[in-house]
Amino acid sequence: MRGRDPLLGQLLDRRYRIDAPIARGGMSMVYRCLDVRLDRPVAVKVMDPKFAADPQFLSRFEFEARAVARLKHPGLVAVYDQGLDDELAFLVMELVEGGTLRELLRERGPMPPHAARSVAEPVLDALAVAHAAGLVHRDIKPENVLISDAGEVKIADFGLVRAVAASHTTSSSVILGTAAYLSPEQVASGTADARSDVYAMGVMLFEMLTGRTPFTGDSSLAIAYQRIEHDVPPPSRFIAGVPAEFDDLVLGATRNDPSQRFPTAGAMAAELRAAATSLELPAYRVPAPRRSAEHASAQQRPAPTAQTARAPAAAPTVAVTAVAAPAAAPTTQHRTAQHPAGPNPTKVVTGLMARPAAPQPVTPPPRPPAPEPHRQPDFSAHRRRSRRTTLVWLLIVLVLALLVGIGGWWMGSGRYTAIPPIDGLDKNGAVTAIQNAGLATTIRGQYSDDAPVDAVLGTDPPEGSQVDPDSTVAVLVSLGRPAVPELAPGTDVDQARERLRSASLQPMDGGEIFSVDAPLGTVAALDPAPGTTVSVGSPVKVVR
């Protein structure tokens, strides 16, 4: 059993109280904290203690934090502060209450195009702002894309990889970044520019559409080096129904040669918007994952206390006042009357400074004569009429506001229907639940390595989405693991590849052999053989 984190309850830099862990990475830990000075929740990334003794890292860490803090965009996680407390370098950021894209993909699986667009577009817009300021992220991945409970999409961790790269604690042979999303130039030479972020965005868009990354391997290094030799395949090879426009987006972002990619995140965002317009994709609010680490950390927050831990207070202010006292009295100090005071009350100290003359009695000034009363005109009837007029106008305004509110609700969310939750239901139960919400349904099979046949995987659009009452909602049902389809010798190669993609398999060129059953250029065999059960996305060689 893992012991209690020793940092919990500690006060970083005499300001940030560490309340609960949110996420652990290879080089850092992210905590939910309370800024006791401003009384607001924040996220604090605490780096591995080994970095605190590295001046190169600390210098780059501070520089990158300042650069990112200057950026202003709703799609960027705001940076509030950075510092060093004993052996801990830390970065203070906006707390996004929700979860990560990784957690959402884990909960719901592949996204339909309209949902993928609603994630990718704000991330690309935020990257465009950073790229214009000369900053490169270098580690775009679903773990660094945050989705708030309000549907906001933000990118986090700008500049962290560059700071670590500057560290003497990092070997020059280490490839920095996450293997599945690295660009070929990052793998080959470690260099990165805006087009490297574009490549990672293409890979992430591929994953949103298919539920998997384009390359697999036995190790991170093997995965990283595959992209040097192979292009990212179009997502439609793995998931039927992906539009050609999204295939083009992925391919345009992930060319091996950087000069052939979209030159900037802004250019890719413009192409994404054009595709969305062409496909008439609906606006969509991305849901936050239900079971996220951030939500779990919120349950661990300590209850508020009367006094929050903080740094020692400064010395109280002292005001010295000379007052008169009887001639024979010794030097004394008198306290003022006891009144409630704040944490740093001002102390008033009184004492004998000199022997003054006896005080003279003070005669109060004479009270001025009271003015003679005079008659006031009778305004009562006018007031009653004014009150009635005011009430009438107030009633009219309230009625108009109510009508406008009802109309706005109907034109906004009121005319839409929410897809009901279907967690735990079987196929028939899911169909019934959706039909009871007034929506039409259809059943759509989807291959799955984990779910048994006929298990409900979700809906398209996802549950909780607001849709037009005339919409048809697809209930996604598991087909189990795919099997290599039966293809007779002599089948057209393009037709065979399409059959394999429809089965969520990846066709690959298997070369040529001599066959008495298959004319030249047609399918002679498949490897693995037809009927073999394999995993989703498995490669199948088409032998001609």
Measured CA to CA, the distance from residue 240 to residue 223 in angstroms comes to 25
Q: Cα separation of 526 and 495, whole Å? A: 13
User: How does pLDDT run across 488-512, given as a tens digit for each residue?
Assistant: 888 898 888 888 888 888 788 888 8
CATH code reported for the domain at 98-294: 1.10.510.10
Has residue 312 got a pLDDT over 70? no
Domain boundary assignment for the chain: 11-95, 98-294, 417-478, 493-543
Mean pLDDT computed over 301-314: 43
The pLDDT, as a whole number, for residue 42 is: 96
Q: Helix, strand, or coil here: 416?
A: coil
Comparing 91 with 164, which gets the higher pLDDT?
Answer: 91
pLDDT at site 277? 95
Q: Assess whether 139 carries a catalytic annotation.
A: yes
Separation between Cα atoms, residue 513 and residue 363, nearest integer Å: 124
Q: Mean pLDDT: which of 28-42, 387-401, 492-506 is highest?
A: 28-42
Which three-class secondary structure state does DSSP give residue 20? Answer: strand
Residue type, 41: P
Lowest-pLDDT choice from 170-184, 257-271, 416-430: 170-184
CB 391 within 8 A of CB 383: no
- Indicate the DSSP class of residue 48: P
Q: Are strands 347-352 and 16-24 parallel, antiparallel or unpaired?
A: unpaired
Pair of tokens at residue 81: 């502060």
List 458's β-bridge partners, or say none.
476
Specify which residues 100 forms β-bridges with: 146
Both tokens of 543, joined, read 């032998």
Q: Which two tokens mark 218?
A: 């036995």
Q: Provide the whole-model pTM.
A: 0.55
How does residue 395 score in pLDDT terms, banded at 50, 70 and 90? confident
The CATH fold assigned to 417-478 is: Trypsin Inhibitor V; Chain A (3.30.10)
Q: Is 464 left (phi over 0), alpha (psi -120 to 50) or beta?
A: left
CA distances from 461 to 228, 250, 434, 474, 530 (A): 36, 22, 12, 7, 33
Helix, strand or coil for residue 516?
A: coil
What's the DSSP call for residue 445? E
- For 121-178, write each residue's pLDDT tens digit: 999 999 999 888 888 888 899 999 999 999 999 998 875 545 444 444 444 434 446 7
Determine which of 59-68, 216-225, 383-392 has the lowest per-residue pLDDT on average.
Answer: 383-392
Selected catalytic residue, list 19, 54, 125, 139:
139
The whole-angstrom separation of Cα 121 and Cα 99 is 18
Model confidence at 5, pLDDT cuts 50, 70, 90, reads confident
Give dist(CA 208, CA 351) in Å, integer.
76
Residue 225: which residues within 8 A CB-CB, separation 6 or more?
Answer: 187
The DSSP 8-state label assigned to residue 82 in this structure reads E
**What integer is the mean pLDDT of 305-313?**
39
Q: Which residues contact 73 (CB under 8 A, 6 or more apart)?
A: 125, 126, 129, 130
Round to whole Å and give the CA distance between 237 and 10. 51
Lookup: tokens for 234: 């179009």
CA angle, residues 128, 134, 136, in degrees to nearest 5: 70
| CA dist 420 → 115, 288, 446, 447, 456 (Å) | 17, 16, 20, 23, 14
Q: What is the 3-state secondary structure (H, E, C) of 326-368?
A: CCCCCCCCCCCCCCCCCCCCCEEEEEECCCCCCCCCCCCCCCC
User: What are the two backbone dihedrals, phi and then psi, of residue 384, each rounded to the nearest 5 degrees?
Assistant: -60, -45
Model confidence at 406, pLDDT cuts 50, 70, 90, reads: low
Tell me the chain's radius of gyration from C-alpha atoms: 34
Residue, of 271 and 435, whose pLDDT is higher: 271
**What pLDDT score does 385 carry?**
55
How high does pLDDT run on average in the chain? 77
CATH for the stretch 11-95? 3.30.200.20
In this structure, the number of other CB atoms found within 10 A of the CB of residue 156 comes to 23
**CATH fold match for the domains 98-294 and 417-478:** no
Distances 273 to 116, 126, 196, 415 between C-alpha atoms, Å: 12, 15, 21, 26
In contact, 249 and 281? CB cutoff 8 Å: no
Select, from the ranges 40-54, 308-322, 339-353, the one with the highest average predicted confidence (pLDDT): 40-54
Residue 35's pLDDT band, with cuts at 50, 70 and 90, is very high
pLDDT of residue 197: 94
